[in-house]
Structure 1
Amino acid sequence: MSETVDYPALVLKRGEDTRLRAGHLWVFSNEVDVQRTPLTGFEPGQACAILDSRDKPIGVGYVNPHSLICARLVSRGLEHALDRSLFVHRLNIALSLRERLYEAPYYRLVFGEADGLPGLTIDRFGDVLVAQTTTAGMERLKEPITEAAIKVLKPAALWWKNDASIRELEGLPAYADLGYGEASLPLRVREGGLEFAVDPIGGQKTGWFYDQQANRDQLARFVKGKRVLDVCSYLGAWGLRAAALGASEVVCVDASASAVEAIEANTERNGLADKVKAVRADAFDHLRALREARERFDVVILDPPAFVKRRKDLAEGRQAYRRLNELGMQVLAKDGILVTCSCSYHMPRSLLLEGVQHGARHLERQAQVLVQLQQAPDHPIHPAIPETDYLKGFLLRVVPA
């Protein structure tokens, strides 16, 4: 018989093991038998053995007694400790997928639950890694994570970008620092034959949105010789890709002054200054101004930040997406292409499309879905964990009704 870990037990109530045995990795606080294993007996982030009501093992995970999601399962069975060896194994499995998908080392290496490492994200920028922990359990395991990353990838540096708002729910502080090695900023990312400067410390998330890479590849068939508007542009990924693929003119819009500066620098870096203009403005305000000026674009790209961060925000966020899409269509040429996206998990794909259709009918136009968009394959979707399926979008043709 193989050895088993010696972690304190977290026992579930009767029947509450069903979702875990079906593949999910989360345990909610109301599913724990607190009479037998009080949550107050655990420290935030402490490793545990998760058992069903009959004391049969489900696996090894970690606990946070102060969080609604009070435990996360990391390894099934009780044979593997939460240590360097486990992380080496999981990183090797994650790496084998990404090396199959991409020729160059620019991708999301670890996508939390989908890669069997709940609470951990790692993005790869050549020989530099940028990692995030969003749970107390993974925060405690930073040292073996770093050791495993060094063994598997031999990076020049690993940055920790731990400022996500979700950390507040775990009682964790926000910070960003260099965890290993040496690396000057900004970093560089290559996509579609272009090079972008990325600031993992001052920028959004880990500095780059790899989840849209495959969707940006879709532009090739639609932008040649066209006038393109890229709204909520951030570092200009959509807009510069469009320019490189043959667009005649591109306007990138972002509310952030630093983002506009970065777009201009990336435009110069890639020799596209004659095609691309960056504008600092609020997305809604600028679309209204363009409408009043009777400006028209052949392709309009809408890739806003999440409008629905919590389930209770759905009604308000749904209206925001509808208004944004209607404004986008108001500056779209008669036979134009609309690219619209939502990174809000709580915003169903059907409601996003419903908002587009509502706007189209209000403008007496007809929308045709050409391509359904989702997150890139370096953000794999776990079939048992709907929360891993968060990015949705559409590439549509919009014509007069």
Structure 2
Amino acid sequence: MRFFCCNLGCLPLANPVYLKKGEEKRILAGHLWVFSNEIDTGRSPLKEFAPGECVALHTHRNRFLGMAYINPHSLICARIYAYTRRPLDRALLTERISSALKLRTSLYAKPYYRLINSEGDFLPGLVADRYGEILSVQITTAGMEAVKTDLLDVLQNMTGVTGILLQNDNTMRALEQLTAEGEETHGNVPEQWSVYEGEAHFRITHKQSQKTGWFYDQRANRERFKHYVNNQRVLDVCSYAGGWS
């Protein structure tokens, strides 16, 4: 095994993956996905890579673009997780989750929010919603599946939650040739959860919920909506859990 040395010590040298000529433009603009038809399969035969394997992404002219994990079976063949040479390991997970947690606690007074938003937090394939002392987590890629044990441990240690619900029944997993595993609980996960948004209090049942349980991205809409319906009786025929939809 070959190694490269840096300020993190000596690390295993990841196999290189080369793009076709000119296919680096979107990556240089900040996009984190690499599609299978953008890879130079003559220099980087996809069948030689294992799903979830960490690779070093290069341009046609051998310019290093970043570290990614690869899945030769998926149309989105590689997902960049770092712009420096480093493995997808516990140290990186700790760094990313710490940054995400710091941002959320600066924005929200109560611990009810989307903690990890996949590529938005530089952790592609991972979504984690927080409901007070509970985390609802989805893993949709082989790269994140490969570090699941460390990932769940870091999430629990950094947030101090009492329970984690892993909801890996998402159909997106099939695109990565991962099995739909249903629910997997770690710690104490009650049947019902509370959600607090401003002055509103909602109750959801995770077995009847969609995805990770709640659409936190509609928080601002629900807050704005109350000004239009104050002291009125309103029928929301697509309410899901009683919120704005």
Matches within 5 A, 1:283-294: none
Partner residue in 1 for 2:194: 188
Match of residue 23, structure 1, among 14, 26, 30 = 30
Q: 1:226 to 1:188 in 2, by over 3 A?
A: closer
Q: 1:149 to 1:158 in 2, by over 3 A?
A: same
Partner residue in 2 for 1:45: 52
Counterpart of 2:106, as a letter, is R
Question: Which structure shows the higher helix fraction?
Answer: 1
Any idea what SS the aligned residue of 2:42 has? coil
- 1:220 paired with 2:239, answer no
Deviations 1:107-149 (A, max 9, x none): 0001111111111100001111111011111111211211221
Matches within 5 A, 1:43-82: 43-78=50-85, 80-82=86-88
Match of residue 160, structure 1, among 155, 160, 166 = 166
Any idea what SS the aligned residue of 1:237 has? coil
Q: 1:45 to 1:202 in 2, by over 3 A?
A: farther
Deviation at 1:184, TM superposition (A): 2.0
- 1:13 paired with 2:20, answer yes
CA contact (8 A) 1:42 1:64 kept: yes
* Aligned-partner Cα distance in 2 for 1:149–1:191: 23
* Aligned-partner Cα distance in 2 for 1:225–1:156: 37
Match of residue 84, structure 1, among 90, 101, 108 = 90
Q: 1:46 to 1:82 in 2, by over 3 A?
A: same
Partner residue in 2 for 1:111: 117
Counterpart of 2:41, as a letter, is V
- 1:173 paired with 2:179, answer yes
Deviations 1:254-298 (A, max 9, x none): xxxxxxxxxxxxxxxxxxxxxxxxxxxxxxxxxxxxxxxxxxxxx
Unpaired runs of at least 5, structure 1: 239-302, 304-401
Deviation at 1:5, TM superposition (A): 4.6
Deviations 1:335-359 (A, max 9, x none): xxxxxxxxxxxxxxxxxxxxxxxxx
* Aligned-partner Cα distance in 2 for 1:24–1:179: 33
Deviation at 1:174, TM superposition (A): 1.3
Unpaired runs of at least 5, structure 2: none
* Aligned-partner Cα distance in 2 for 1:179–1:14: 46
CA contact (8 A) 1:9 1:50 kept: yes
CA contact (8 A) 2:169 2:183 kept: no
Deviations 1:41-92 (A, max 9, x none): 11222221111112222111111111111110001121x2101110111111
Match of residue 130, structure 1, among 136, 143, 152 = 136
Counterpart of 2:189, as a letter, is A
CA contact (8 A) 2:138 2:168 kept: yes
Any idea what SS the aligned residue of 1:229 has? coil
Any idea what SS the aligned residue of 1:49 has? strand
Deviations 1:3-39 (A, max 9, x none): 5552111111122112111111000011111001101
- 1:200 paired with 2:221, answer no
* Aligned-partner Cα distance in 2 for 1:225–1:194: 14
Identity within the alignment, %: 44
* Aligned-partner Cα distance in 2 for 1:186–1:197: 7
**Larger CA Rg, structure 1 vs 2:** 1
CA contact (8 A) 2:27 2:33 kept: yes
Matches within 5 A, 1:364-379: none
Match of residue 243, structure 2, among 237, 247, 254 = 237
Q: CA RMSD in A?
A: 1.6
Question: Could you tell which deviates more after superposition, 114-123 or 11-20?
Answer: 11-20
Deviation at 1:105, TM superposition (A): 0.2
Any idea what SS the aligned residue of 2:20 has? coil
Matches within 5 A, 1:190-339: 190-238=196-244, 303=245
* Aligned-partner Cα distance in 2 for 1:175–1:236: 28
Q: 1:186 to 1:224 in 2, by over 3 A?
A: closer
Counterpart of 1:169, as a letter, is L
Report runs of 4+ in structure 1 exceeding 6 Å deviation: none
Question: Could you tell which deviates more after superposition, 115-124 or 138-147?
Answer: 138-147
